[in-house]
Amino acid sequence: MAADHLRETAISSRLIFDEGFLRLRKDLVRLPDGSQASREVVEHPGAAAVAALTDDGRVVMVRQYRYAPDAVFLEIPAGKLEKGEAALHCAQRELVEETGWRATQWAWLAPVHPAIGFSNERIDVFIARGLEEVGACPDAEEFVEVEIVAVADLIEAIRLGQITDPKTVLGVFAVERMQRGEWAWPQFEQINSA
Amino acid sequence: MAADHLRETAISSRLIFDEGFLRLRKDLVRLPDGSQASREVVEHPGAAAVAALTDDGRVVMVRQYRYAPDAVFLEIPAGKLEKGEAALHCAQRELVEETGWRATQWAWLAPVHPAIGFSNERIDVFIARGLEEVGACPDAEEFVEVEIVAVADLIEAIRLGQITDPKTVLGVFAVERMQRGEWAWPQFEQINSA
């Protein structure tokens, strides 16, 4: 969005950490009024997620432990982009790896910016259907449980504060609006190999 | 949620960074199958946000530049908890500071966990009404523009991928469901001084 009068510009940047998938830098910035401030930035490679729908309109969910918040979350499948990987490919890969389901119809829904206060992470959320079971092939480090859940139950879990992660909140609300005819379904692309 | 068989336990922890409002640590963890992995954790003090409603049901929004994603976002007012500060107090403070509006009726809506892959951040989202204009008193470093926006326009902005931050997506969808009578309004608490 064009709002250049609100913009902050970098004066200098210090790299603090660059291991695993995260980079942390601390920048000195110039504010719109000319004064200076520091900004911590967690650089993230980006991620993709998918609300994959069964023929009867339920959603393929994964339940998994998340170390940073120290809690178990019920989420739509998602994962980080590998180097050079397109978001659609990542979402397709994660769906199969985490759930053992493959989808033949895919559409992009919207981006999510989870932590705009300190990170550039962007999650591209997709909607998929035309599911075929192929068998899960999780990464060595992934421990997830797959659940197929009705959209009404997911909406209720959001109301109760039991689903709290942004890609899932957006995906569930969007799918419900499409199922109720309040939002048009996106144009699905037929994809025959994951 | 009880799912101890999915849990990861810390073996050791290394503090990488502890400046400003963020701490970064890198932990060595034991996975459910006994193997080991490393986990980066961005420790965050927590935050609070508020969907503040005018008497005619519109939402008090702020438009601001976010340095980490390098973009301008239309958001509900929010901010980080100060040391020892309760989430409700934080939301009340941020509403006045950022928008110049004070609200006399408050209810807690739900938590958001923005970045469960690498941060423990939790944002408590409130709904408020009974607005009174008192005049903005932004922090020296805050440059925000206030807009009062109809819920239908916010829903459309979500559909178009123009509103992408999690506290705002959740707050807007929740308010719309309450206005349509699909979710009960929460019990509002009367608060006469911010």
CB atoms within 10 A of CB B68: 21
> Do the domain assignments include residue B124?
yes
Q: Which residue of B has its CA nearest to A8?
A: B67
Are A74 and A170 within one domain?
yes
Contact call for B69 and A119, based on CB within 8 A: yes
Judging contacts by C-beta atoms under 8 Å, the chain B residues touching residue A111 are 161, 164
> Do the domain assignments include residue B192?
no
Q: Which residue of B has its CA nearest to A183?
A: B159
End-to-end CA gap in chain A: 35
Judging contacts by C-beta atoms under 8 Å, the chain B residues touching residue A116 are 66, 68-69, 73, 75, 165
Min Cα–Cα distance to chain B from A189, Å: 19
Count structural domains, chain B: 2
Q: Which domain holds residue B27?
A: 4-43
pLDDT per position as a tens digit, B137-191? 766 567 899 999 999 999 999 999 999 999 999 999 999 999 999 999 999 999 9
Are B85 and B173 within one domain?
yes
Angle between helices A166-179 and B166-179 (to 10 degrees): 40
Q: Which residue of B has its CA nearest to A3?
A: B72
Contact call for A169 and B166, based on CB within 8 A: yes
> Do the domain assignments include residue B189?
no
Are B105 and B24 within one domain?
no
Are A75 and A16 within one domain?
no
Kindly report the CATH number assigned to the domain that includes residue B94.
3.90.79.10
Q: Is B119 helix (H, G, I), strand (E, B) or coil?
A: strand
Distance CA B36, CA B79 (A): 36
H, E, C per residue of A11-72: EEEEEEEEECCEEEEEEEEECCCCCEEEEEEEECCCEEEEEEECCCCCEEEEEEEECCCCEE
Are B39 and B51 within one domain?
no
Nearest to B87, CA basis, from B106, B63, B62: B106
Are A143 and A174 within one domain?
yes
pLDDT per position as a tens digit, A22-80? 999 999 999 999 999 999 999 999 999 999 999 999 999 999 999 999 999 999 999 99
| Option in A37, A69, A111 nearest B113 (CB) | A69
Query: What's the pTM?
Result: 0.95
Contact call for B20 and A7, based on CB within 8 A: no
ipTM of the complex: 0.94
pLDDT per position as a tens digit, A72-119? 999 999 999 999 999 999 999 999 999 999 999 999 999 999 999 999
